[in-house]
Chain A
Amino acid sequence: MERRTVFRELLGMSKRDFTLLFSLAIISTLLIFSIIPEYLAREDYRKINLSAKLIPPSPEYPLGTDFLGRDFLSLIIWGSRYALIEMLYPTIIAATIGIILGLVAGYIGGIPDQIIMRGVDILMSFPSFLLALVILNTLGPGLENAILAVAIGRISGFVRLTRSLSLPTKELGYIEYARALGASKLRIMTRYILPNILTPIIVELTFSMPGTLAMVAGLSFLGLAGKPPVADWGVLLQQARIYLRFAPWAVLVPGAAIFLVALAFNTIGEALRDIVDPRRKYMRIL
């Protein structure tokens, strides 16, 4: 299906589906927040005001303040950019590597396929969070390394998906025709197979984003990814944890931000899947 049509259909569906409309609104807000936080946030995220620390949500501070007296609404706006980075970068890195390896394994087959798939088996023997944890431990803490560690843990899923999609595709007549015309393997993989299997991969990308966000936030929560005073949502959660009893909003606000973004991506992913593959509609499993 034409990808532009998919987008148009998504917009059409959102007229009937309130949750979908809400999700699209959340993603648009996230994008706007992350592009121009300096114009939208009332306060700088480095501005400390200890006389206003841990104020509950009130007209002056709609989402309350944190233990340094920073306005939570501003912090959430500043943190959007990190959230977007933490979703996009690991997913893009993992998808790029995964698609290349998956195409090679699926189209060329033989020994390269064996090697790649054994590697995938080994990567999949580790629970993904554990893998990210130990890789991050070796690379050293920090946001860049966390992104890399999470990305490595996600590669195997994309390899398997791409491989399983390209296996039936390579048997199709037009691929044989291209081969008969003397197209190189690289050309067949990139020009003839990839465009035809890209749509389900894009659906998978949408589902992957909230997972990576939660994982990086989890690593931040353990103090291994982002570092204060950055307004990263996971870092905010980690700092607020010890005030849980006295200032629950300090945990709930960044937590709710992560939750809403995840909800939005999952809803959109599900809608995309319905559009791309209507036959599977009753099989939707989130």
Chain B
Amino acid sequence: MLKYFLKRVLYFIPTIFGISVIVFVLIRMIPGDPIEIILGQHATPQLQEIAKSQLGLDQPIYIQFFYWLRNMLTGNWGISLFNRYPVSELIFRRFSFTIQLAVLSMANVATFGVLLGIIAAYKADSMIDNLSRNISIWLWSAPTFLSALILLLVFSLYLGLFPSMGSGGIEYLILPSIALSLPGISYISRITRGTILEVAGQDYIRTAHAKGLRRRRIMFRHVLKNSLLPVVTMLGMQFGWFLSGSFIVETIFSFPGLGELTTRSLLNRDYPIVQGCTFFIAIIYCSINLFVDVLYTYLDPRIRFERRA
């Protein structure tokens, strides 16, 4: 186990390096001269030269990359081109809002997704199951911007139950978190149903039935315990997805999270922020995935064995 864990963490290092290369290249390849953006179009050539050497832009590209990487890894992510605010501070402040939204969305998905899945599996092939299947595929097919706009229209503009934009108390979180969690609820409920039915088809469950145990007891004691593991992994991956900020939903509700910051800076051409956000989100996202993967291996001895073999 320890060996597997160390191996995974070691794999993480080239991944971070790869992420850095991609972010660096993508930001560098943006058309336009950074010196011109900073100094304006009418700076003298001498001034441009000075700025170039100050920023290290006269160095070869791989030297530039290593300077840049050192800055990124030490948290020196530059300042916003517009309000001169330190990028790292801005990102961390916005991230705290995204965490709130992510936690609430996650609670939605974990509660309703798993519950729906259990009900659908318990009543497999009944009308309820069919209904939940249809609802799932509907929710899954609705793009989040559509559900967000409909929620905004009905609950905020028409009924006036919730604020339509901004942040503050929990009332600002409810609509965005519902919009975000709908596809997740449908996905998790399908996974839950599938794994429960898979476990319920196994021999030891038939034995439990033969022993004369009551159906409900078998469901909770024997089936659920063994079938929730894949669900937990999927939930973990969902959480990584929520934490990476939801670009469109946050924009629709003007919610001051990471996603809104990223899209807004992108449209404003505030590249230090875009770069910082992209780097930060990628690191968060793949750390969560790494954590989930290791946890899964830890929790399920069968996989541990398979991977060792």
A137 to B201, CA, bound (A): 50
Across the interface, do A267 and B143 meet the contact criterion of CB distance under 8 Å? no
Q: Is the interface of B mostly helix, strand, loop or mixed?
A: helix
Across the interface, do B26 and A135 meet the contact criterion of CB distance under 8 Å? yes
Across the interface, do B282 and A125 meet the contact criterion of CB distance under 8 Å? yes
If A122-B19, A125-B282, A217-B143 touch, whether A263 touches B137 (CB-CB below 8 Å) is yes
Kindly state whether residue B122 has any CB partner on chain A within 8 Å. Answer: no
Q: For B136, what are the chain A residues with a Cβ–Cβ distance below 8 Å? A: 286
Across the interface, do A218 and B15 meet the contact criterion of CB distance under 8 Å? no
Across the interface, do A244 and B157 meet the contact criterion of CB distance under 8 Å? yes
Q: For B15, what are the chain A residues with a Cβ–Cβ distance below 8 Å? A: 118, 121-122, 125
Number of A-B contacts (CB under 8 A): 134
A45 to B11, CA, bound (A): 52
A247-268 Cβ-contact flags toward B at 8 Å (1 or 0):
0100110011011001100110
Kindly state whether residue A31 has any CB partner on chain B within 8 Å. Answer: no
Across the interface, do B143 and A214 meet the contact criterion of CB distance under 8 Å? yes
B148 to chain A, nearest CB (A): 10
Across the interface, do A251 and B285 meet the contact criterion of CB distance under 8 Å? no
If A241-B149, A244-B149 touch, whether A259 touches B248 (CB-CB below 8 Å) is no
Across the interface, do B140 and A286 meet the contact criterion of CB distance under 8 Å? yes
- Taking CB atoms and an 8 Å cut-off, the chain A residues in 117-137 that contact chain B are 118-119, 121-122, 124-127, 129-130, 133-135, 137
Q: For B142, what are the chain A residues with a Cβ–Cβ distance below 8 Å? A: 259, 262
Q: For A138, what are the chain B residues with a Cβ–Cβ distance below 8 Å? A: 26-27, 29-30
A-B contact pairs, 18 of them (CB 8 A): A121-B11, A126-B282, A133-B262, A133-B263, A137-B274, A138-B26, A223-B267, A255-B150, A256-B146, A263-B137, A266-B137, A266-B140, A266-B141, A267-B137, A282-B197, A282-B198, A284-B190, A285-B187
9 extra A-B contacts, CB within 8 A, seeds A127-B285, A286-B187: A125-B283, A127-B241, A127-B244, A130-B247, A134-B26, A134-B266, A138-B30, A221-B248, A223-B267
Chain A residues in the interface with B (C-beta under 8 A): 19, 118-119, 121-122, 124-127, 129-130, 133-135, 137-138, 140, 210, 214, 217-218, 221-224, 237, 241, 244-245, 248, 251-252, 255-256, 258-259, 262-263, 266-267, 270, 282-286
Chain B residues in the interface with A (C-beta under 8 A): 11, 14-15, 18-19, 22-23, 26-27, 29-31, 124, 134, 136-138, 140-143, 145-146, 149-150, 152-153, 157, 186-187, 190-191, 194-195, 197-198, 201, 241, 244, 247-248, 251-252, 262-263, 266-267, 274, 278, 281-283, 285-286, 289
